[in-house]
Amino acid sequence: MTAIPDIMLSNGQNIPQFGFGVFQIKPEDTVAAVSTALQVGYRHIDTAEMYGNEKEVGEAISQSGLDRADVFVTSKLSNDAHEPDGARRAFDESLKALGFDYLDLFLIHWPLPTRYDGDFVSTWKTVEEFYREGRARSIGVSNFQPRHLRRLHAESDIPPAVNQIEVYPYLTQDELRGFCAEHQIAIEAWSPLGQGSVLDDPTIDSIARRVGKTPAQVVLRWHIERGDIIFPKSVTPERIRENIDIFDFELSGEDVEAISALNRDERTGPDPDKFDGR
């Protein structure tokens, strides 16, 4: 396996382009899953307060024997904690649950434009505090649309380093990705496999057969070729190994385009403009 590439964020910090996501992994399964991931070479874990497994993520990292500095860890603000004092408490609690004194990346999980009087700017200004204190090495957002990002740019000091959004072959998000590229905001593609829904696609299957990889590996490699940061989830050790084994091959430009052409603008998750986080 060749090394996992780093992507340099706008603030100069490096993030591994590939990692492990722990959404919907039960707390009781999290230590085993994250331990397997770390053993087979993952060095980037994506969790969130709302996943309910930060404590177990921290335990797995501490038991791994790796230096804290060698694992890039992201967590995200609870939808129920957007008011400044609540956000400060929630951030402290995330650190405490993980057993860390800093996070590599901290994100506002959803913009929630229909809640908190649509004031995600005050929430962002609170998140900026964590960055200035050095307790969040990078800060960013998730599920933000261009109109939300424009407000942050106009009304706050520190631009988000990343936007974590839903991207998979049936939702390629080219407009939003283009906007973020123009503004030096790195894209993290959540649910990179569409939670498994694209793995039977005939186009993906035929590319996979031709290049001698699995459909999951082809889809993950497609994201890597497009330059997005990904962290597929699995609790199955063989799949955890399979998903990281994508750094010994490349897709041709034609194959990347053929997969991008599958776009149907089909979300599996909520619409960020309407979702109120409850």
Which one of residues 242, 244, 255, 256 is an interface residue with ligand NAD (CB under 6 A)?
Answer: 242
Instruction: Based on the residue annotation, tell me whether 51 is a catalytic residue of this protein.
Output: yes
Q: Name the residue nearer to ligand NAD (CB basis): 95 or 192.
A: 192
How many helices (H) and strands (E) the chain has is answered by 10, 10
Paired strand residues for 75: 106
Q: Residue ranges of the alpha helices (H) in the chain?
A: 27-39, 54-64, 84-98, 120-132, 146-155, 174-182, 202-211, 215-226, 237-244, 253-260
- For the bound state, the minimum distance from the C-beta of residue 24 to ligand NAD, rounded and expressed in Å, comes to 6
User: Applying CB under 6 A, does 54 fall inside the site for ligand NAD?
Assistant: no
User: Applying CB under 6 A, does 193 fall inside the site for ligand NAD?
Assistant: yes
- For the bound state, the minimum distance from the C-beta of residue 199 to ligand NAD, rounded and expressed in Å, comes to 5
Nearest by Cα to 25 from 60, 44, 45, 52:
52
Nearest by Cα to 159 from 178, 189, 180:
180
Q: Name the residue nearer to ligand NAD (CB basis): 20 or 85.
A: 20
What is the identity of the amino acid at 143?
A: N
Pick the stretch among 83-91, 131-139, 146-154, 184-192 that binds ligand NAD (CB under 6 A).
184-192
Which one of residues 33, 161, 204, 216 is an interface residue with ligand NAD (CB under 6 A)?
Answer: 216
State the burial class of residue 85 (Cβ atoms within 10 Å of its Cβ: 0-12, 13-18, 19+).
exposed
User: Applying CB under 6 A, does 126 fall inside the site for ligand NAD?
Assistant: no
User: Applying CB under 6 A, does 113 fall inside the site for ligand NAD?
Assistant: no
Cα separation, 109 vs 144, whole angstroms: 9
Nearest by Cα to 76 from 120, 107, 42:
107
User: Applying CB under 6 A, does 142 fall inside the site for ligand NAD?
Assistant: yes
Q: Distance between terminal CA atoms of the chain?
A: 42
Which one of residues 78, 123, 143, 172 is an interface residue with ligand NAD (CB under 6 A)?
Answer: 143
Which one of residues 17, 126, 172, 191 is an interface residue with ligand NAD (CB under 6 A)?
Answer: 191
Which one of residues 46, 56, 104, 255 is an interface residue with ligand NAD (CB under 6 A)?
Answer: 46
Site string for ligand NAD, 16-45 (x = CB under 6 A): -----xxx----------------------
Q: Parallel, antiparallel, or unpaired for β 72-77 and 136-142?
A: unpaired
User: Applying CB under 6 A, does 199 fall inside the site for ligand NAD?
Assistant: yes
> DSSP characters for 80-120?
T--SHHHHHHHHHHHHHHHT-S-EEEEEES---TTSGGG-H
> Catalytic positions, please?
51
Name the residues that contact ligand NAD, by CB under 6 A: 21-23, 46, 109, 142-143, 164, 190-196, 199, 216, 231-234, 239, 242-243, 269
